[in-house]
Amino acid sequence: MGTYRDFSVQQAVTPGASVVNITNNNTTNDECRAVYIGASGNYEFYVNGEWVKFVGLNAGSILPIRATGARHSSDDSAPDAADINFLY
């Protein structure tokens, strides 16, 4: 099981301060506070030490998950530019 990092109450309720466009399919990105979906589709996110599949995500959605990686679920390829944004 992966490491669970606890946020203070203030950090948990304040808006994100920065955004990073994810264009790789590795699991070594910094742990985000949420994920913005820029293009509809099926994606897998690396959360707490394992890949988790999300099906039928709509563009404009924000997932309140703390992921360190993202990839297309169909072929494990890296997301295209602006498909996935990590909010920090």
Q: What is the pLDDT of residues 28-78, one digit of tens each?
A: 999 999 999 999 999 999 999 999 999 999 999 999 999 999 999 999 999
67 close to 32: Cβ distance less than 8 angstroms? yes
78 in a domain, yes or no? yes
66 in a domain, yes or no? yes
10 in a domain, yes or no? no
pLDDT of 1 reads 44
Domain count, the chain: 1
3 in a domain, yes or no? no
Q: Domain range for residue 77?
A: 17-87
Q: Measure Cα distances from 62 to 1, 2, 40, 45 in Å.
A: 25, 23, 12, 13
62 in a domain, yes or no? yes
79 in a domain, yes or no? yes
